[in-house]
Structure 1
Amino acid sequence: MFAKLTSARSVLVAAGLALATMLGAVAPTPASAAIPYLQLNASEPKYAAIVIDANSGEVLYDKRADSPRYPASVTKVMTLYLTFEALGEGRMKLTDRVVMSPRAAGQAPTKIGLRPGESMSVDEAIKAMTVKSANDVAVAMAERLAGSESRFAALMTLRGQELGMRNTRFVNASGLPDSRQISTARDLAILSRAVMRDFPQYYSYFSVRGFTFRGAYIKGHNRLLDNMEGFDGLKTGYTNASGFNLAGSAVRDGRRLIAVVLGGPSTAWRDNNMEDLLLTGFDVMKRRAKGERTTIAANIYEDEPSGPIDRPSVEQGDGDQAGLKIVLTENPHNPGPMKVSPTLRAAQATAKPAKKPQGEWAVQVGAFKSKSLANEQLKLVRGRFAKVVADTEAAVEGAGGTFRAQFQGLTADAARSACSTLKAKRVPCMVLSPR
């Protein structure tokens, strides 16, 4: 799939660990000192996302991809990267033991729950991190590889910088609460691509849905492994401060895409957004191969999450975050995504409504930069789903510099039913009530 990690990195391991040891002994600095562009702005949304082509690294979509965010348990992808690195270089074997120290055993849930002095195999430890997102195991592995978690965290940051993660700083191995631990959607996509490129022999660990440990079956948090065809990893994360995070990857028709979604308001919203981004990305890649010039942004309704975070009854590996708040701004040094002039596919034949509209509700199927694009979307949906929107009037409403494609004249029940049908066919939509 990818070229193997160069031998030059192996040469840097000892030097990097030595430097990490020195850095780990230094008193921690504020996040704003480590990342100068971090500023306080309570109005900044938590949501950020990116989609990249895993083969070329080309950015297909981004939204606040360089704004600082809390990575939560997606942090463990870097912990696992360094674990795989140790395995690949023969410094550790899958059958070796990872011993739980008192400090590791004392980590906040989610955790495996071994007592100090107890141990598990490296193979079990990797599964505990990918499947259960076990914080105690992440710390135990950090201590196994670097002597202490602080030295390991410094090495994580150094390795991230080497990989191109310019705006990331790690201070722990688990993703547990720490306002100094900052990353971005772009950096986490770089990390996700690196781990599958450099260690393809271990990437399948991210696809494990569950495993048995000491007679008990432990099921994972990554629901898309069961619910989306071709989806095979990587890692979920959640804290009150970060919202619901997911670094994911999927393969369709021989193409692999990587997406990162940060700051979702719920598990379901995050997973749906991830699936929409990946499916639209695969469609865009297929159409571009046929000569069309289009982008994900031109083909997806960018519905920003709003409202409070839906706190789950069971945390996804990141402990209690009630006292930590996130206030962020855009990175003024954003290198910017690939720019492509957006066009939509040729409109299909339109079908006139069979009946006069009966209600005051509407279904919105997209918001676009021009009225012509909004009309194209209406024609496309009408052509593909004539029966679903048969009793409606197509309309384009301009607001705030965008043009919203809507099917109006529905009752409340009809609008909800129509939108539900469209979503089932992977057409983003939202129900609009009367003003």
Structure 2
Amino acid sequence: MMHKKLISKFRTARLPLTTFGAAFLLVMTLAVSSPAFAKYASFVMDAETGKVLHSVNADTKNYPASLTKMMTLFMLFEAIEQKKVSLKTRMHVSRRATWQPPSRLGLKRGSTITVEDAIYALVTKSANDVATVVAEALGGTEWEFAKEMTNRARQIGMKNTTFKNASGLPNRGQLSTARDMAHLGNELWKRFPQYYGYFKTQKWQYNGRTYGNHNKLMKDYDGMDGIKTGYIRASGFNLVSSVRRGDHRLIGVVFGGKTSKHRNGVMEKILDQAFYKVDPQMMAEYKKNKASEQAQVAQAVASKRTSTAWGVQVGAYASIKTARVQAKAAIKRAPSYLTGAQTKVVPLKNGNKKVYRARVVGVEKREAYRACKALKRLHQPCMVFRDKTQVAMNRS
């Protein structure tokens, strides 16, 4: 309907055919690539029973973006099981693979990469060049491999999914749904428990560089152990997550997040709600324990700050610069007691003049006294004091 209105407007304007065609293509390109056209969808299922615990636009077709690589990995795991390749098999890097846009590993034409490194690259870096390498190794061409991906997806129950490439790079025909992606996430966990652990990878090193996992919720949401993020402008920010708490494992999907932070917030919310549905008592206990842990951590931090609310003063000087230099020098002269402490310059009005006290703060009482003793042996004036501002802050 929107397309017809656009065509009607251009015709009414009586633009020349060539101008109309170019303008129409431009508008349609923007329509496809604009985040405003990303469709929101979310879905949560119980991994053990298949019970649907949350569903919004679950069967609406969307661009999966790099969630596509979950299917690429599914095909690769099957190939390993069928002994077509092993984790040590080296796959050839073609010129076409090196042409893939970011995110990529930056592989060189004619080089090779092992199957295991390819798995890590897809899980952490979400490397598009590596996705092409895998596709060509298993399917001959990426186009043929994408057809095999689609056929296999249909066989395992992903009825509304079509793949056109192995990476998730923009393609109008590459579509999936939140329900299908949840099903794929569940199949990866159930069918390949020996390989599923790769999705837990937080960091991976390759050729002297370290690559971190794009899924930041693995650190922030208890029990999350995978599996994949995705983003292109036409899809927004996508995420499939697998989470285990107690005796329950849930698979959650979010399509069309406005930002990665927004997407993660939505994921946390729908997973919490789903866990309350399957086991409210467990979640109540979990929240209680979590609050207790947070209180203990806060208390430990406050206790640490109070214990280190001591310092040493090593003189008062006419300029800030001199005071700062003397404070830094004190740390170097008594490193056994002051390493890790901070310098602090405190002004003091002495009659009509202002002097600046050189201090080193953030140490324990015992260390402060020992530091002063060591400094005095080096003929450095020194006095111990308690940092009252720090004590007051901890009490507030």
TM class by shorter chain equals 0.5 to 0.7
The alpha carbon displacement at 1:43 in A equals: 9.1
Residues 149-298 of structure 1 mapped to structure 2, 5 A cutoff: 149-287=142-280
Q: Aligned to 1:92, what secondary structure does the other structure show?
A: coil
Residue 99 of structure 1: aligned partner: 92
Q: Is the 8 A contact 2:246 2:282 kept in 1?
A: no
Paired residue type of 2:170: P
Paired residue type of 1:148: T
The alpha carbon displacement at 1:203 in A equals: 0.4
Distance 1:176 1:43, change over 3 A: closer
Distance 1:217 1:44, change over 3 A: closer
Structure 1's consecutive aligned runs of 4 or more residues displaced over 2 angstroms after TM superposition are 42-45, 287-290
Partner Cα distance (1:101, 1:44) in 2: 34
Paired residue type of 1:156: M
Partner Cα distance (2:154, 2:111) in 1: 34
Paired residue type of 2:68: T
Residue 54 of structure 2, aligned match among 50, 54, 61: 61
Q: Is the 8 A contact 2:38 2:234 kept in 1?
A: no
The alpha carbon displacement at 1:289 in A equals: 9.3
Residue 117 of structure 1, aligned match among 99, 110, 113: 110
Residue 40 of structure 2, aligned match among 44, 47, 57: 47
The alpha carbon displacement at 1:45 in A equals: 6.3
Partner Cα distance (1:120, 1:90) in 2: 18
Paired residue type of 1:254: D
Residues 312-331 of structure 1 mapped to structure 2, 5 A cutoff: none
Residue 73 of structure 2, aligned match among 80, 87, 93: 80
**TM-score (norm. length: structure 2):** 0.61
The alpha carbon displacement at 1:268 in A equals: 0.4
Residue 368 of structure 2: aligned partner: none
CA RMSD in angstroms comes to 1.9
Partner Cα distance (1:69, 1:130) in 2: 21
Q: Alpha-carbon deviations, 1:193-235, whole Å to 9, x = none?
A: 1111111110011110110001111112110111111001110
Distance 1:43 1:76, change over 3 A: closer
Partner Cα distance (1:177, 1:281) in 2: 32
Residue 360 of structure 1: aligned partner: none
Q: Alpha-carbon deviations, 1:379-432, whole Å to 9, x = none?
A: xxxxxxxxxxxxxxxxxxxxxxxxxxxxxxxxxxxxxxxxxxxxxxxxxxxxxx
Residues paired across the two proteins, number:
250
Residues 406-421 of structure 1 mapped to structure 2, 5 A cutoff: none
Residue 137 of structure 1, aligned match among 116, 130, 134: 130
Paired residue type of 1:139: T
Q: Is the 8 A contact 2:90 2:113 kept in 1?
A: yes
The alpha carbon displacement at 1:89 in A equals: 1.4
Partner Cα distance (1:97, 1:225) in 2: 30
Q: Alpha-carbon deviations, 1:231-271, whole Å to 9, x = none?
A: 01110000110000001110001210001100000000101
The alpha carbon displacement at 1:287 in A equals: 3.1
Q: Aligned to 2:70, what secondary structure does the other structure show?
A: helix
Distance 1:129 1:287, change over 3 A: same
Paired residue type of 1:258: I
Partner Cα distance (2:111, 2:277) in 1: 50
Please identify the structure whose Cα radius of gyration is greater. 2
Paired residue type of 1:275: E
Paired residue type of 2:111: E
Partner Cα distance (1:226, 1:271) in 2: 12
Paired residue type of 2:239: L
Q: Aligned to 2:270, what secondary structure does the other structure show?
A: helix
Q: Aligned to 1:156, what secondary structure does the other structure show?
A: helix
The alpha carbon displacement at 1:44 in A equals: 7.3
Partner Cα distance (1:43, 1:172) in 2: 24
Paired residue type of 2:147: A
Q: Aligned to 1:202, what secondary structure does the other structure show?
A: helix
Q: Aligned to 1:282, what secondary structure does the other structure show?
A: helix
Paired residue type of 1:189: A
Q: Alpha-carbon deviations, 1:321-351, whole Å to 9, x = none?
A: xxxxxxxxxxxxxxxxxxxxxxxxxxxxxxx
Q: Aligned to 2:279, what secondary structure does the other structure show?
A: helix
Q: Aligned to 1:108, what secondary structure does the other structure show?
A: coil
Paired residue type of 1:163: I
**TM-score (norm. length: structure 1):** 0.56
Partner Cα distance (2:73, 2:36) in 1: 34
Q: Aligned to 1:201, what secondary structure does the other structure show?
A: helix
Partner Cα distance (1:131, 1:182) in 2: 23
Residue 375 of structure 1: aligned partner: none
For structure 1, which runs of at least 5 residues remain unmatched after alignment? Answer: 1-41, 291-435
Distance 1:55 1:136, change over 3 A: same
Distance 1:273 1:134, change over 3 A: same
The alpha carbon displacement at 1:59 in A equals: 0.8
Partner Cα distance (1:230, 1:115) in 2: 38
Residue 391 of structure 2: aligned partner: none
